[in-house]
Structure 1
């Protein structure tokens, strides 16, 4: 075991901070765009103490088939480009709203009716948001 003095010698640059420029963030956005996800928005939750993640990425797809395709492609691309697998995912059976949890980034791929009903952007309206076209 290392002595505590070793911790003092480590620079702050050894801690990687998750940002909108992070590779995993960019890979997720690009994968959604490649599969024609619509109305893509990211919510920066880092300044909200109650938030369970640093970012939410929300998009919609016009059919359950497209919802599944986007989710599968996001997982495939993040694994290929970043070597990361999701901590968990939810909603694959109904495919109205699939959530992919990468711990610091949570991806929500939603059918338009589900998105209108749950209104995630309104629920987290105090978060900084950004539209991705």
Structure 2
């Protein structure tokens, strides 16, 4: 039984980031790395865009304007949307990372970030799990 455990060839990712310089560069870099990346400038638009685009993952700034990243993630969960969310933040304290992971994040990347690492963090939660064998 050979099961394909890879991610989609061009996984889609919704990038929720308000800093114009960072967001444009991040979307371009993710596209270069094989993602179908789309930008959403505010946390408040996250739920609507996730429903509309149905991405494989969301790369969510922890502090976008209009709605905090944890609140945006909470709205997704309340709506029954289980799309994996990777937070991107300048907060590097262990407490911040642990809190985000405990509350609602599937993963967490800090700024300054390495694009290869961010790419791997986005791909990890969308990779299917191998079947459980007793």
TM over 0.5: no
Give the TM-score normalised by structure 2.
Answer: 0.35
Who wins on radius of gyration, i.e. which is larger? 1
Give the TM-score normalised by structure 1.
Answer: 0.35
Richer in strand (by share): 1
